[in-house]
Structure 1
Amino acid sequence: MLVVGLTGGIATGKSTVSHLLRRLGCAVIDADQIARRVVDPNKPAWKTIRKQFGNTILLPDGSIDREKLGTIVFNDSAKRQLLNSCTHTPIFRELLWQLLVNFIKGEHLVILDVPLLYESGKLVHLTHRIVVVACSPEVQLQRLMQRNGLTKDEAIKRVNAQMPLDEKRRRATHVIENDQSIEDTRRQVEELHRELCDSWMYIIVRFLIALFIAFLIIAIISSFS
């Protein structure tokens, strides 16, 4: 199984690329969706967040007001780190579980869609390739302001809260430049998909894992003999 990390900067168009890859038949594990599920009311992460941030960040139905909490953490790096400490472990566990499920299903190519892939640190080591979706700073700010209804200063704070996009570009194995039309982005994604599907890495990885499992089974059997 070839695990491909997909990341980018806020409002660079990563979700569009993820959608296009899904339409091409790729299995996609969406960290944003997982992050929403792990903070559902009365789950452990929800209880920790409520304890740390208080009831003021809750909506009437008990769910977390993501806009209010986002405003708090994007204006305070210490609180942003506190929020991450509440959610990273359950998110990481669910990501590992979904990777295992896709491996058992025999998926050739799995996209690990993680906005803060580099910032998270340990998730990088789960990937064989990393795709960064990028655009110019001007386009990024414009998209973010329009999408979230932010002022320019608010948008800049949110962009600066992440690793610089140029640094992500430098670390990537593939870069999708998403400044132009959707047709241009689709062309780049289709080229990337063809290249990834031609890779034999997944066969090597599956062989090594199967070999490890075989040795593990032999060791367990031997311990009972």
Structure 2
Amino acid sequence: MLRIGLTGGIGSGKSTVLAMLVERGAAAIDADAHSRRVTAPGGAAIEPIRQAFGDAFIAPDGGLDRARMREHAYTHRDARARLEAIIHPLVGQGIQRDVDEARSEGRRCLVFDIPLLVESGRWRREVDRVLVVDCGAHTQVERVKARSGLSEAQVEAIIAAQAPRALRLAAADLVIFNDGIDLAQLRTLVDEAAKSFGL
């Protein structure tokens, strides 16, 4: 199976590109979905997070208080590393289950949706090609503000905590520039990328 690593900064349109690739027959391996699952109420990461960070980071519903943790992790680099040390192994187990299922279905292409592909340092070695969805920082801010209700400063802090745009682009085998185009034009670019991957 061809393994494609899909990444891009927040608000780049990565999820839309992933959905289009799935329409063409790729199997999506969503690292974020596994992360959300293990940090949901009753998730496997909740007790280790409680032990590492305290009850203040567990929401009333029993899941991770994502807003509090996001703010804490973006201002305390060691906290982010400790959180990742809890979550990443659990996410890795979920990803392996997805890969095994895709193999049993006879899928020819896996697309790993990995927001921190560049930051992690390890994923580049585990995929065959890296596809980066890119757009300008202003577009990122406007898209995320519109969908999330976060302030401009909050979005800029998230962008600053992610890999620099130049670093993502340097890691790319192929770039889809999703800025100033409509969905039909984006689909054309995705179709071209998919054909280059043999989809």
The normalised TM-score by structure 1 is 0.82
- CA shift at 1:46, angstroms? 1.3
Residue aligning to 1:98 = 98
Unaligned runs of 5+ in 1: 199-225
3-state SS of paired residue (1:59): coil
Q: What CA distance in whole angstroms lies between the structure 2 residues aligned with 1:50 and 1:101?
A: 32
Residue aligning to 1:184 = 185
Kindly provide the CA deviation profile for residues 153-184 of structure 1, in whole angstroms up to 9, marking residues without a partner as x.
Answer: 22221101011112111210011111121111
- CA shift at 1:18, angstroms? 0.8
- CA shift at 1:123, angstroms? 2.2
3-state SS of paired residue (1:197): coil
- The reply to whether residue 41 of structure 1 matches residue 44 of structure 2 is no
Residue aligning to 1:122 = 122
Letter in 1 for 2:30: D
Residue aligning to 1:15 = 15
Q: What CA distance in whole angstroms lies between the structure 2 residues aligned with 1:94 and 1:163?
A: 24
- CA shift at 1:25, angstroms? 1.9
Residue aligning to 1:145 = 145
Cα pair distance change 1:93/1:123, threshold 3 Å: farther
Residue aligning to 1:2 = 2
- CA shift at 1:11, angstroms? 1.2
CA contact (8 A) 1:75 1:157 kept: no
Letter in 1 for 2:191: E
Letter in 1 for 2:57: I
Residue aligning to 2:168 = 168
3-state SS of paired residue (2:5): strand
Over the matched positions of the two proteins, sequence identity in percent amounts to 33
Residue aligning to 1:197 = 198
Structure with the higher helix share, 1 or 2:
1
Unaligned runs of 5+ in 2: none
Larger radius of gyration: 1
Cα pair distance change 1:52/1:38, threshold 3 Å: same
3-state SS of paired residue (1:107): coil
Residue aligning to 2:55 = 55
Letter in 1 for 2:80: R
Q: What CA distance in whole angstroms lies between the structure 1 residues aligned with 2:176 and 2:126?
A: 21
Greater CA deviation, 29-38 or 139-148? Answer: 139-148
Runs of 4+ in structure 1 deviating by more than 6 angstroms, as ranges, are none
| Aligned residues between the structures | 198
Q: What CA distance in whole angstroms lies between the structure 2 residues aligned with 1:165 and 1:99?
A: 29
Q: What CA distance in whole angstroms lies between the structure 2 residues aligned with 1:45 and 1:60?
A: 16
Q: What is the Cα-based RMSD across aligned positions, in Å?
A: 1.6
Q: What CA distance in whole angstroms lies between the structure 2 residues aligned with 1:94 and 1:81?
A: 20
